[in-house]
Structure 1
Amino acid sequence: MEPSQTVEDESQPSIATVTRRIQRLSLHLIPLPPLQCSPHLDMLTCAKANKQEVDVASLSSYMRGKHREIQERIFDFFNSRPDLQTPTEISMKEHRELCLRQLLGLVREGKIKPFRYVVEDPAKYFAISEAVGSIDISLGIKFGVQYSLWGGSVLNLGTKKHRDKYFDGIDNLDYLGCFAMTELHHGSNVQGLQTVATFDPITDEFIIDTPNDGAIKWWIGNAAVHGKFATVFARLVLPTHDSKGVSDMGVHAFIVPIRDLKTHQPLPGIEINDCGHKIGLNGVDNGALRFRSVRIPRDNLLNRFGDVTRDGKYTSSLPTINKRFAATLGELVGGRVGLAHSSVGILKIAVTIAVRYSLLRQQFGPPKQPEVSILDYQSQQHKLMPMLASTYAFHFATQYLVEKYSEMKKTHDEQLVGDVHALSAGLKSYVTSFTAKSLSTCREACGGHGYAAVNRFGTLRNDHDIFQTFEGDNTVLLQQV
């Protein structure tokens, strides 16, 4: 190389590169003309495949059966009442009050009276419950606490005197109630509950006591704000004249008023605390109850499987504590049936949203041709189609479970009782676990748009998550099966 020759410094950008960069930067400084829609931004035809003609009305009637009409009534009621629809952003306090207004509106204005169906027509009750839960899962749970748990315990564990006294108040929501079974230290192990109900033969009353902090009733729906009564599960203790001094008859259920019907203030001896914010279901006012020598009449014992006479003698048609306990829990299996059924309802919502979106959303495709519906890609099909098939399978499986449960309620056949117990434990566990995983898959299948709160996946996922623990932890239920 001659010394006089110049060499361009390769570490410096060329004149052409600098010019191009200046041109690009200038675009940010010069106002652009009004946006002209490119043909590439137009909405393209949904899904190239041939559209199948389906008789939607007939298919819907087949899937939802004879209870389709009452579900449509519920949807129509809430569609006509935008003030009762849950907004995307809402505080816990506002959500709780909205849930109560939704329930009162449904029953008193919408004329939906589900309580009589809890025993008379469980299939219709569960159809109503599914529709209510699709509006807001918090509303569905509050609905279930009132009618299936609090109301169901009165119907299933009580006798005629209890039904005569409480039925109308539960039905019309004058008697909002709680189901106080779970304690701080005991959930699935119901036989280990520590709350005590001691009979006082002098006053003909039971004295309800919380003996220690671990026995505080915990996570009790309707307790924190709205409940007026509670079905309290406690160990029935009778005084005796032998050396032991007392006789423990095992866990029984008692109706305990917790707030004054007029002032709504907690009654003497009742301590109520708020469980506060939860991962989901913040429209449900979960609370903690502590009892300090709370006296209730002897008649408040729900005495279908065991009773106490005026002179303090225990009577029962069932000979042992274990048999009485099994009979009591057997009558409460409807909650487990309802959770399996409701979980499928939530799965239906999520799968419907994800499949519809996947038909409309288009990405990639052959050069210079319309983009392809993402449901045409195998990766999307592998996510959604087995899930869709499983949703149909679970729909029919839980329908079968409801039929068996309804038959059990009518016949009280011992073989059916055992079958329903095993089937409900298995299906509740399997379906709720499947739905919990599927909700995340559906969100992912909808990409970034699935992350928008308005598209419901976050709410559905958070509200449903506790279904894996409600009415028996799934691990424990599978061991029972």
Structure 2
Amino acid sequence: MDHNQTTGAAGESYPSTRRIQRLSGHLSPSEHVHPSIPPQLRLQACARVNLEVDTEKLSVYMRGKHRELQDKVYEYFNSKPELQTPLEISKDDHRELCMRQLLGLVREGGIRPFRHVFDDPGKYFALLEAIGSVDMSLGIKMGVQYSLWGGSVINLGTKRHRDKYFDAIDSVEYPGCFAMTELHHGSNVQGLQTVAKFDPLTDEFVIDTPNDGAIKWWIGNAAVHGKFATVFARLILPTHDARGTTDMGVHAFIVPIRDMKTHQTLPGIEIQDCGHKIGLNGVDNGALRFCSVRIPRENLLNRFGDVSRDGKYTSSLPTINKRFAATLGELVGGRVGLAYSSVGVLKIAVTVAIRYSLLRQQFGPPKQPEVSILDYQSHQHKLMPMLASTYAFHFATLHLVEKYSEMKKTHDDQLVSDVHALSAGLKAYITSYTAKSLSACREACGGHGYAAVNRFGSLRNDHDIFQTFEGDNTVLLQQVAADLLKQYKEKFQGGTLAVTWNYLRESMNTYLSQPNPVTARWEGEDHLRDPKFQLDAFRYRTSRLLQSAAVRLKKHTKTLGSFGAWNRCLNHLLTLGETHIESVILAKFIEAVQRCPDPSTQAALKLVCDLYALERIWKDIGTYRNVDYMAPNKAKAIHKLTEYLSFLVRNVARELVDAFDLPDHVTRAPIAMKSDAYSHYTQYVGF
């Protein structure tokens, strides 16, 4: 677009008075509508952008090719009342129900998720979202069985492991665990203390827990149902020199933990129950201790490192660090699944909160009917940017799944690195946002949000751990920052940049140049809603943070060392990781808008995308003002336009949440029923 047409000649600092007045009309609809007009009529009087949202077309574009597969899951559980999780259920009963749900889905429902883990990850993650919507505990239990236990066997093992275990894992004949986390070590996987010593006399590995800190902890499927575990342990080989042994680093081993027929715990293995948790009590988390547990040499998952009969170690990768990185690189599917599933949780919460906010009426002009609470600007401010973020996250995680699927097919080294950092960042950012939003949605529904039947409590409690497992969010954001700094360094040494970060290569110098004093004052609506302006603003912020972080780290390393310097700059680095992920999310949202083939659907998505972008800019407006990237008049215009866009999104909020296409028997909250919500609610309590 030609900015001169919007704001006057490029040499002018401010637009004309007439333009200001016209823009004021766009940004402040309430200022020229009489305050006594009820908000319902105000919507009609002010909505110059009269969007017609075709919910079905938007839903098809959103859910795409996996819609039927998800509907199959929904219908299966809707047809099985005995498999639906009741509101009040004990820990032990929930665990048994969760296992029956998984077995029923696989053996009766004809859903075989394990095959999709490798053949079509997009289908697997779509199934995971749908199953988690039915019961989050079931989604996690499925993830443990197929993504973690099954995925580790197939991804870290070789043909012999696939031939022996695949079918039995697929049918849940071999329920298993993923025993990585220890009491003393979680995120620092290289610091794990469990050991696996090779005994050349018997051709076996001997698994031992050397101290209480090395007890495997929070192991899903361990307390009740698991028969096997993938155990991560330090591989210790005997040597013929003075040392006696050598530590080859962390490897993965298949360890049977219960008898296949009697289900009794096997000798040398101690299993304890981790007990009642804040949420996800359908998952049987346990603690495992090993005392001289012997397993065949073939139980080493040997894709990246193997031990021969005579105790010699071979690997295609030259160092412990490279083998460790390759091992963890094969396990990023868990992070991808959590990011994707977290968006599913957010969709349910936003749907419940918005539907109730449209239904609930409170106060209004004197002697006029009460108005919907979603007509209040404060409520729009709370929920509409959240709705926009839900759409943004949806398209960002679809992109992540596509990249992950491509990585699994090609095994391209650059893609592996790319997906590792991207999955870390999106998992951290989205799960943190969703956790905060669940509380905001509960509050938006007032006292009725506190009723357990309306689900906010269970959603909040079940989802909360998403911020911790598969990588603590603070640690994951540091991984993103570290990757950015690595790419930044390579850029100035003539190296290539990863695909995800290529905007730094293409226009880093542009983003770091002195802000243009003319464009810093542009405040026209066309300019502020231009995707190029929005994306440039996001990337400018990331580029400045990256450059300043590099300078600070170099300075502090001289006196504090690398670890001390990193710790001194830690909050700066976390902010860098977050802003970069926001840039990626916005870029993928803009691409999704531009790809949309239906004009009316595209217009609706463009509106939501603009709200996401401008609300994020406004929330960090101090950063832009401090470096004169935006003048005061532009900052004020962004604030007013953000409020106006929230107002416009409110007009189509019902259609936007309906496009998530969640049946009433999936959302389940009485206050969110598509019709007769109060009737459902009163019937629930006995009227």
TM-score > 0.5, shorter chain as reference: yes
How many Å separate the matches in 1 of 2:248 and 2:221?
A: 29
Q: Which residue number in structure 2 is paired with residue 81 of structure 1?
A: 80
How many Å separate the matches in 1 of 2:210 and 2:192?
A: 11
Q: Deviations over 1:399-438 (max 9, x none)?
A: 1011011111111111111111111111111101000000
- Structure 1: state its 5+ residue gaps: 1-45
Q: How does 1:237-248 map to 2 (within 5 A)?
A: 237-248=236-247
Aligned pair count reads 436
Report if the CA contact (8 A) 1:272-1:290 is conserved: yes
Q: Which residue number in structure 1 is paired with residue 101 of structure 2?
A: 102
How many Å separate the matches in 1 of 2:270 and 2:213?
A: 15
Report if the CA contact (8 A) 1:47-1:360 is conserved: no
**Any idea what SS the aligned residue of 1:74 has?**
helix
Q: Which residue number in structure 2 is paired with residue 40 of structure 1?
A: none
How many Å separate the matches in 2 of 1:155 and 1:53?
A: 48
Tell me which amino acid in the other structure corresponds to 2:139: G
**Any idea what SS the aligned residue of 2:113 has?**
coil
C-alpha displacement at 1:368, in angstroms?
2.5
Q: Which residue number in structure 2 is paired with residue 162 of structure 1?
A: 161
Q: Which residue number in structure 2 is paired with residue 65 of structure 1?
A: 64
Identity rate, percent:
83
**Any idea what SS the aligned residue of 1:362 has?**
coil
How many Å separate the matches in 1 of 2:121 and 2:101?
A: 22
Q: How does 1:271-282 map to 2 (within 5 A)?
A: 271-282=270-281
Q: Which residue number in structure 1 is paired with residue 614 of structure 2?
A: none
Q: Which residue number in structure 2 is paired with residue 208 of structure 1?
A: 207
How many Å separate the matches in 2 of 1:362 and 1:127?
A: 36
Q: Deviations over 1:271-312 (max 9, x none)?
A: 000000111111100000001100000000000000000111
- Structure 2: state its 5+ residue gaps: 1-38, 45-49, 481-687
Q: Which residue number in structure 2 is paired with residue 335 of structure 1?
A: 334
C-alpha displacement at 1:52, in angstroms?
6.6
Q: How does 1:146-185 map to 2 (within 5 A)?
A: 146-185=145-184
Q: Deviations over 1:442-480 (max 9, x none)?
A: 000000000000000000000101000011111111111
Q: Which residue number in structure 2 is paired with residue 125 of structure 1?
A: 124
Q: Which residue number in structure 2 is paired with residue 429 of structure 1?
A: 428
How many Å separate the matches in 1 of 2:53 and 2:81?
A: 31
C-alpha displacement at 1:88, in angstroms?
0.9
Q: Deviations over 1:192-242 (max 9, x none)?
A: 000000011111110000011110000000000000000000000111111
How many Å separate the matches in 2 of 1:58 and 1:385?
A: 21
Q: Which residue number in structure 2 is paired with residue 263 of structure 1?
A: 262
Q: Which residue number in structure 2 is paired with residue 22 of structure 1?
A: none
What TM-score, normalized by structure 1, do the two folds share? 0.89
C-alpha displacement at 1:370, in angstroms?
1.6
How many Å separate the matches in 2 of 1:286 and 1:47?
A: 51
Structure 1 stretches of at least 4 aligned residues deviating more than 6 Å after TM superposition = none
How many Å separate the matches in 2 of 1:167 and 1:293?
A: 27
Q: How does 1:277-316 map to 2 (within 5 A)?
A: 277-316=276-315
**Any idea what SS the aligned residue of 1:323 has?**
helix
Q: Which residue number in structure 2 is paired with residue 387 of structure 1?
A: 386
Q: Is 2:154 the partner of 1:144?
A: no
Q: Which residue number in structure 1 is paired with residue 361 of structure 2?
A: 362
C-alpha displacement at 1:107, in angstroms?
0.6
Q: Which residue number in structure 2 is paired with residue 467 of structure 1?
A: 466
Q: How does 1:312-331 map to 2 (within 5 A)?
A: 312-331=311-330
How many Å separate the matches in 1 of 2:437 and 2:400?
A: 22
Tell me which amino acid in the other structure corresponds to 1:145: V
What TM-score, normalized by structure 2, do the two folds share? 0.63
How many Å separate the matches in 2 of 1:182 and 1:204?
A: 27
C-alpha displacement at 1:53, in angstroms?
5.3
How many Å separate the matches in 2 of 1:199 and 1:474?
A: 36
Report if the CA contact (8 A) 1:184-1:214 is conserved: yes
Tell me which amino acid in the other structure corresponds to 2:436: K
More strand, by proportion:
1
**Any idea what SS the aligned residue of 1:268 has?**
coil
Q: Which residue number in structure 1 is paired with residue 233 of structure 2?
A: 234
RMSD of the alignment, in Å?
1.2
Structure number with greater Rg is: 1
Tell me which amino acid in the other structure corresponds to 1:419: D
Q: Which residue number in structure 2 is paired with residue 55 of structure 1?
A: 54
C-alpha displacement at 1:56, in angstroms?
2.8
Report if the CA contact (8 A) 1:47-1:359 is conserved: no
How many Å separate the matches in 1 of 2:40 and 2:469?
A: 40
Report if the CA contact (8 A) 1:259-1:267 is conserved: yes
* Greater RCO, CA 8 A, separation 6+: 2
How many Å separate the matches in 1 of 2:60 and 2:405?
A: 21
Tell me which amino acid in the other structure corresponds to 1:380: H
More helix, by proportion:
2
Q: Which residue number in structure 1 is paired with residue 452 of structure 2?
A: 453
Q: Deviations over 1:303-359 (max 9, x none)?
A: 000000011100000000000000000000111111111111100110011011111
Q: Which residue number in structure 2 is paired with residue 477 of structure 1?
A: 476
How many Å separate the matches in 2 of 1:87 and 1:47?
A: 38
Question: Is the alpha carbon distance of 1:47 and 1:194 closer, same or farther for their aligned partners in structure 2, counting shifts above 3 Å?
Answer: farther
Q: Which residue number in structure 1 is paired with residue 502 of structure 2?
A: none
Q: Deviations over 1:88-119 (max 9, x none)?
A: 11100011011011111111111100101111
Tell me which amino acid in the other structure corresponds to 2:120: D
Question: Is the alpha carbon distance of 1:47 and 1:137 closer, same or farther for their aligned partners in structure 2, counting shifts above 3 Å?
Answer: farther
How many Å separate the matches in 2 of 1:478 and 1:54?
A: 37
How many Å separate the matches in 2 of 1:120 and 1:104?
A: 21
Tell me which amino acid in the other structure corresponds to 1:265: Q
How many Å separate the matches in 1 of 2:368 and 2:80?
A: 45
Tell me which amino acid in the other structure corresponds to 2:286: G
Tell me which amino acid in the other structure corresponds to 1:273: Q
